[in-house]
């Protein structure tokens, strides 16, 4: 088993101190967030070459396929992979990440061990969906590679500082590692080019009626990230629910005789069978792969600007992502009045209780988007890219 001696953890006191700095960053940055988000397209690859990325992950069936997709994509310069506890404990997500690197033949990519648990909560896993080993029961040899010495938060911090303004964070698990890195370095957020996350939902959850799993596991970390000022792209359940893996997809992968295609087919076949055994009518959704594919090919997804915040205190709704917009839902305005509406739309918290003397908290004086949220998906184009890259046909 891979050594787990070094990983990124924060004491409660460190977290409280760091969170205060992180929230201050969010408050200072909120006036600039909209300009950042609108100025940076989803895949703003520099003309000189591939996009530098760090992938933060908790493999996980769909994480494993997303990692293989990323490592087969010449558009990406993967500076590192950081593992975090989520779908299964870190003792499994870390070796699973190392396995995918070996299968892809990408021993040039460093892998770092991250947080064993959320910032303030006990770990809740998704073994019910991903199997006890995280790969749907698909078995692979123990990895020969070992992680780098730096814990994930330090690795992220060092790499972003090495390439300021160039690193995109592709996050496909709980955001614990990212929040730890941001909270330990007050200048780091402004050095990150963009954060593309699989997580959240504006249309209900998948682990509770309110919350998507990645945000549910560590809502405090997610809130630090959303309030950091980093331009965020949120690829959540609103679109990933439309990406069900099928038997035909798996047959294409099984037909190609290369290590990546065969490994992807093995994981995918086990995942489909696991879903059927649990009574589901469709195969598993490719949540994480869609976030990576949407970065590779922005035409796969359609976006709208939102101010997104995370519920952290609700007894039944912790981990819910709330999207505010003056142009969507009951708050939408007629064309041509959106700018005026935005300046007159405070972002409010919950109403005060009878025992309280304060008024409803105003979190933001007016609407300033902090995220581009995926609201539409071309599933055919997505699977053409995913299966084509994994099979080696494209």
| pLDDT tens digits for range 365-380 | 888 899 999 999 999 9
pLDDT per residue over 256-282, tens digit each? 999 999 999 999 999 999 888 888 777
Q: Are the beta carbons of 362 and 347 closer than 8 angstroms?
A: yes
Instruction: Give the chain's radius of gyration (CA, Å).
Output: 20
- 376: helix, strand or coil: strand
Write the CB contacts of 262 (distance below 8 Å, at least 6 apart in sequence): 253, 254, 256
Q: What token pair was written down for 304? A: 């709208």
Domain coordinates in residue numbering, the chain: 12-243+280-312+371-391
pLDDT at 42: 57
pLDDT at 38: 42
- Residue of 267, 278, 299, 303 whose CA lies nearest to 66: 267
Q: CATH assignment of 12-243+280-312+371-391?
A: 3.90.245.10
Active-site residues, by number, are 287
Give whole-number Cα distances, 158 to 28, 55, 114, 323, in Å: 24, 15, 14, 32
Between β-strands 371-377 and 301-310, what pairing exists: parallel, antiparallel or unpaired? antiparallel
**Once rounded to an integer, what is the mean pLDDT over residues 40-56?**
73
Lowest mean pLDDT of 205-209, 281-285, 316-320, name the range. 281-285
For residues 108 and 57, what is the distance between their CA atoms, to the nearest angstrom? 18
**Once rounded to an integer, what is the mean pLDDT over residues 22-27?**
40
- Sheet containing 301-310: which strands, arranged edge to edge? 111-113, 76-83, 51-57, 167-171, 194-198, 232-235, 371-377, 301-310, 321-324
Phi, psi of 140 (to 5 degrees): -130, 160
Lowest mean pLDDT of 9-23, 44-58, 186-200, 307-321, name the range. 9-23
b/e code 145-170 from CB counts within 10 Å (16+ = b): bebbebbbbbbbbebbeeeeebbbbb
pTM of the model: 0.88
For residues 283 and 183, what is the distance between their CA atoms, to the nearest angstrom? 38
Average pLDDT of the chain is: 88
pLDDT at 356: 73
Phi, psi of 304 (to 5 degrees): -135, 150
């Amino acid at each position: 088993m891979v050594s787990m001696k070094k990983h990124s953890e924060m004491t409660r006191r460190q977290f409280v101190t760091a969170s205060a700095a992180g929230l201050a960053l969010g408050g200072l940055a909120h006036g600039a967030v909209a300009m950042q988000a609108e100025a940076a397209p989803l895949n703003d690859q520099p003309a000189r070459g591939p996009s530098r990325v760090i992938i933060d992950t908790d493999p996980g069936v769909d994480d494993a396929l997303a990692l293989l997709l990323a490592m087969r994509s010449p558009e990406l310069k993967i500076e590192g992979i950081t593992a975090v506890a989520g779908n299964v404990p870190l003792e499994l997500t870390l070796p699973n990440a190392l396995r995918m690197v070996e299968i892809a033949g990408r021993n040039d990519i460093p892998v770092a061990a991250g947080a064993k648990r959320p910032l303030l909560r006990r770990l809740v896993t998704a073994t019910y969906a991903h199997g006890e080993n995280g790969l749907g029961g698909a078995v692979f040899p123990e990895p020969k590679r070992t992680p780098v010495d730096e814990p994930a938060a330090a690795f992220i911090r060092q790499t972003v500082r090495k390439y300021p303004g160039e690193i995109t964070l592709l996050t496909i698990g709980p955001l614990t590692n990212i929040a730890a890195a941001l909270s330990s370095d007050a200048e780091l957020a402004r050095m990150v080019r963009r954060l593309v996350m699989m997580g959240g939902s504006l249309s209900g959850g998948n682990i509770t009626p309110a919350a998507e799993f990645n945000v549910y596991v560590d809502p405090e970390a997610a809130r630090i990230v959303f309030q950091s000022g980093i331009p965020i792209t949120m690829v959540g359940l609103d679109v990933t629910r439309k990406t069900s893996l099928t038997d035909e997809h798996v047959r294409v992968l099984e037909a190609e005789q290369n290590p990546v295609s065969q490994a992807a087919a093995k994981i995918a076949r086990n995942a489909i069978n696991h879903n059927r055994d649990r009574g589901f009518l469709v195969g598993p959704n490719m949540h994480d792969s869609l976030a990576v594919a949407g970065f590779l090919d922005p035409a796969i997804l359609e976006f709208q600007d939102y101010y997104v915040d995370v519920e952290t205190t609700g007894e039944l709704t912790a981990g819910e992502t709330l999207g505010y917009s003056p142009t969507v839902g009951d708050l939408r305005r007629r064309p041509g009045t959106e700018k005026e509406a935005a300046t007159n739309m405070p972002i409010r918290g919950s109403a005060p209780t009878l025992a309280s003397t304060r008024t409803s908290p105003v979190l933001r004086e007016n609407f300033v988007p902090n995220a581009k949220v995926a609201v539409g998906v071309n599933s055919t184009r997505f699977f053409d890219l995913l299966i084509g890259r994994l099979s080696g046909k494209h």
